[in-house]
Amino acid sequence: MKLVMAIIKPFKLDEVRQALTELGLQGMTVTEVKGYGRQKGHTEIYRGAEYAVNFLPKIKIEVVLPAKQVDKAVDAIVAAAKTGQIGDGKIFVVPVEQTVRIRTGETDESAL
Amino acid sequence: MVTLIKILSGVVGALAVLLLAHIDPALAQEAGAAAAPAAPAAPVSPINTGDTAWMLTSTALVLMMTIPGLALFYGGMVRKKNVLATLGAVFGATCIITVLWMIIGYSIAFTTNDSESLNRWIGGFKYFFLKPMGLNAVSSLAGTIPESVYMTFQMTFAIITPALIAGALVDRMKFSAFMLFMAAWLLLVYCPIAHWVWGGGWLGAMGALDYAGGTVVHLNAGTAGLVTCIVLGKRYGVGKENMSPYNLAYSVIGASLLWVGWFGFNAGSAVTANVNAGMAMAATQIATAAAALGWMVSEWIIGKKPSVLGMISGAVAGLVAITPASGFVNPTGALIIGIAAGVVCYFASVHMKKIFGYDDALDVWGVHGVGGALGAMMTGMLASNAINSASKGWLIDGNPQQMVIQFYDVAGTFIYCGIVTYIILKILDIIIGLRVSQAVEVEGLDINLHGEVVQ
């Protein structure tokens, strides 16, 4: 099992969700996060007072799925979240040791 | 469509029948009264119901300017940790001033002092606890409405003026010191100056033109704001930390409520429902929109983007600047004052503040002080005798002397307010201290002073 963690632009969330749903994925966890990469921040100006905003709002999607589905999922996220502009985000894939469905006690892939 | 027309014509017909039925008996009664022998004349009440209705409305509109208008305008501009403290300061000021106005404020501002020489400076003390204000009382300053309405109308002005100062001292003043400051400032600064201009004092006698409070309200509050922010010192971290506003949508709502409420402020200052009120309303609307555009365009050219905060700030600047002029200028005059206010107040709030380095957090001086002084001077310039027989301006009526009088009005307010505000603050600083500790300031006033937070 793998955890696919994608940091994307907030307005791309719906497209990414749709793309993953089409692959047959049953769920995901979404968090509003702030951070920066190459895009750095931006400047806000209020009555002449300038503030550098270092952390930009992003969306973090977390999905756990069987290892054999990872490549397809990653491709789907890239295709849906890409604008070609700086700040599109990143995807991380990490191994997952165990999964438990709390309601039934099922474990691992049958719990996904 | 056809049925709709049928229904409508039916309704109109029914209304016409009702109206006729209503008028007829009235006519009959009048005829009857004329034929009857003359009854002893009842005492004629000076109260005009139309004027009274408008002044009741105006009073409510001006209170709406402060709560929620000004509270939201300011509350949206501070950081999240100080939102409630800012709203609470405006709300608290409203309450303390109401009570003090009832006890003695109205008396010393708007009643006549028995001593003629003292009356130049301060009103009388007979209206202590509003004792002489019976049900049928009428003030000599507002002959066609109940004094209860006039007293409350003037109270709403007395409320907003000190409350405006709150914008300069946000994020760092103790609530206790603020409430005492509001009380002292009302009685020692606002009431005397209101008496000088409107209550029969020296500036009014000299012929100073201030229709709704360009100097009495705005220059006065702006000057106090400037003095207060200098005495308090800068907010911790200003210029280094991110102090971006909590929620500018609040500020947009607040500024919009201020705009609407300002019709009560300016058109209400006619104290009658007449042609002057109408022209004051038109002038107010024109100047406000022009000033919003003036600020917006200035910012667009210099700062590259037309910010929403800029637009609403410009609108408030225009409202401020047209305040002294609203009953004296024609629509073209209002347009000129509006454009000037938008551009000048933009430079005062954004650039002048940077040059001099004072931390007038929400630009009380830049918008109200500068806008009020500008409006007062431009009133002398553009007042028209054709609009108000009480005024003779420089450019239209060829009366340059008015500019001198306006200058005395501006200078008198600025100097008196500046000095007395400074003294009040210094005394409060010695007695209880003005400023919260740095730890409280960094953590936020809401949780430390009020025990509450916005989630």
pLDDT in tens, chain B (455 residues): 445 455 555 555 554 444 444 444 444 444 444 445 555 666 788 999 999 999 999 999 999 999 999 999 999 999 999 999 999 999 999 999 999 999 999 999 999 999 999 999 999 999 999 999 999 999 999 999 999 999 999 999 999 999 999 999 999 999 999 999 999 999 999 999 999 999 999 999 999 999 999 999 999 999 999 999 999 999 999 888 889 999 999 999 999 999 999 999 999 999 999 999 999 999 999 999 999 999 999 999 998 899 999 999 999 999 999 999 999 999 999 999 999 999 999 999 999 998 999 999 999 999 999 999 999 999 999 999 999 999 999 999 999 999 999 999 999 999 999 999 999 999 999 999 999 999 999 999 999 999 999 98
Cβ contact (<8 Å) for A47 and B351? no
Query: What is the CB neighbour count within 10 angstroms for residue A54?
Result: 12
Strands A2-8 and A49-53: unpaired
Going from N- to C-terminal start, the domains of chain B cover: 50-129+144-449
**Closest Cα in chain A, distance from residue B434 (Å):** 26
- Chain B's closest residue to A55, CA to CA, is B242
CB-based contact, B303 to chain A, within 8 Å = yes
CB contact under 8 A, B353 and A44: no
Q: What is the pLDDT of residue B29?
A: 46
Please tell me the distance from the alpha carbon of residue B92 to that of residue B74, in angstroms, as a whole number.
14
- Determine how many CB atoms are found less than 10 A away from the CB of residue A91: 15
CA atoms lying within 13 Å on the CB side of residue B401: 5
Give the model's pLDDT for residue B1: 47
Q: What integer is the mean pLDDT of A78-92? A: 94
Residue B143 CB partners (closer than 8 Å, separation 6+) = B46
CATH code, residues A2-111? 3.30.70.120
Contact B363 A47 (CB under 8 A): yes
Cβ contact, residue pair A51, B353, below 8 Å: no
B352 in reach of chain A (CB within 8 A)? no
Burial B20-59 (b: 16+ CB within 10 A, else e): eeeeeeeeeeeeeeeeeeeeeeeeeeeebeebbebbbebb
Instruction: Give the model's pLDDT for residue B7.
Output: 52
A27-70: pLDDT as tens digits: 999 999 999 888 777 888 898 888 888 889 999 999 999 999 99
The dihedral formed by the CA atoms of B190, B194, B199 and B202, expressed in degrees to the nearest 10 = 110
Tell me the nearest-neighbour CA distance from A61 into chain B, angstroms. 25
Q: How far is B314 from chain A (nearest CA, A)?
A: 11
For residue B267, what is the DSSP state?
Answer: G
Amino acid in position B4: L
Q: Where are the domains of chain A?
A: 2-111
Please provide residue B433's backbone torsions phi and psi, each rounded to the nearest 5 degrees: 85, 140
Interchain contact B302–A (C-beta under 8 A):
no
pLDDT value of residue A44:
87
CB-based contact B182:B66 (threshold 8 Å): no
For residue B6, what pLDDT is reported?
Answer: 55
Q: Distance from B359 to chain A by nearest Cα, in Å?
A: 11
Q: Which residue of B242, B243, B350 is in closest CB contact with A48?
A: B350
State the amino acid at position B392 in one-letter form: K
- Between B77, B244, B354, which is nearest A48 by CB? B354
CA distances from B112 to B79, B118, B170, B264, B395 (A): 45, 9, 37, 25, 34
Q: Are strands A49-53 and A56-65 parallel, antiparallel or unpaired?
A: unpaired
Check CB contact under 8 Å for A45 and B305. yes
Q: Could you tell me the CA-to-CA distances from B263 to A106, B71, B198, B322 in Å, in that order?
A: 69, 18, 19, 11
Cβ neighbours of B455 (radius 10 Å): 3
What residues of chain B lie within 8 A of the CB of A52, using their CB? 242
**CB within 8 Å: A53 and B245:** no
Residues of chain A with C-beta less than 8 angstroms from the C-beta of B310: 47
- Inform me whether the C-beta atom of residue B240 falls under 8 Å from chain A C-beta atoms: no
pTM across the whole model = 0.85
Chain A contact for B314, CB < 8 A?
no
pLDDT of residue B265: 97
pLDDT in tens, B122-175: 999 999 999 999 999 999 999 999 999 999 999 999 999 999 999 999 999 999
Residue whose C-alpha is closest to residue B175's, from B88, B72, B234: B88
Rounded to an integer, what distance in angstroms lies between the CA atom of residue B367 and that of residue B369? 6
Q: Domain B50-129+144-449's class?
A: mainly alpha
User: Contact A60/A77 with Cβ under 8 angstroms?
Assistant: no
